[in-house]
A = this chain, B = another copy of it.
């Protein structure tokens, strides 16, 4: 399983994904599930993936293959030729459909199915930053101010804190803190999500990524966050009146 979450804020975008993959509990591995494409001054694009690793890697390989073809002069819509984020999201959707044409039938014939979800966001010159959740069918929805975040994978444990605190006018560092708390809850309750966490903060109109970090289990900030949060929750709990029928 995977846990990945992204925010679309007035001041930019924040992305985070864990790195654990597993095929049964005795076969776990570490893979990067956050992909980053950038052309400084023009666009920054980030893709988070949850689901069958073979499928998500196929999608990324297809996207990169099309970029290479473009460089070789072939004429196709790619992540670098898309004129806006809506078109770029369609490029990702097309890659998912292409991956399904290749592997879908074999997967559907097994009990695995073709079941992969993506979060895709970024900024292309001329637009504000935009964020999408792309379904296994290749279609997608876009985040708005009403619901400024998307989650994929093992999303339930970490959702209550987001539902309570998330707002689209948060600062980037504040949103990153919130996402890490959401990860902390998930990591404690579900073994299939594991450290390190890949985190990317994109500042609006920067058209480059300068704030990017892989947060490992011994990261000082994360440990501090996790223990402060536990203490704060226990303290808050003890202050509330007991139930008395």
Q: Chain A interface (Cβ within 8 Å of chain B)?
A: 156-161, 163-165, 171, 173-174, 176-178, 180-181, 185-186, 188-189, 199, 201, 211-213, 221, 224-225, 228-230, 232-237, 239-245
Contact = CB atoms under 8 A, between A and B. Distances in A.
B173 A242 contact: yes
Nearest to A156: B156
Q: Which of A156, A165, A171, A211 has the most CB of B within 10 A?
A: A156
Contacts of A157: 156-157, 159-160
Contacts of A230: 164
Contacts of A165: 233-234, 237
Nearest to A222: B243
Contact of A180 (B164, B174, B243): B243
Copies of this chain, tallied across the complex = 2
A237 B160 contact: no
Contacts of A236: 229, 232-233, 235-236
26 contacts: A156-B157, A156-B189, A161-B233, A161-B237, A164-B188, A164-B233, A164-B234, A165-B234, A173-B244, A174-B243, A177-B240, A177-B241, A177-B243, A180-B243, A181-B240, A199-B245, A201-B245, A211-B245, A213-B245, A225-B241, A228-B239, A232-B236, A232-B240, A233-B233, A235-B236, A236-B236
B243 A176 contact: yes
Of A160, A173, A185, A235, most B-chain CB atoms within 10 Å: A160
Contacts of A244: 173
A188 B174 contact: no
A189 B163 contact: yes
A172 to B, nearest CB: 8
A50 to B, nearest CB: 15
A166 to B, nearest CB: 11
Contacts of A159: 157, 189
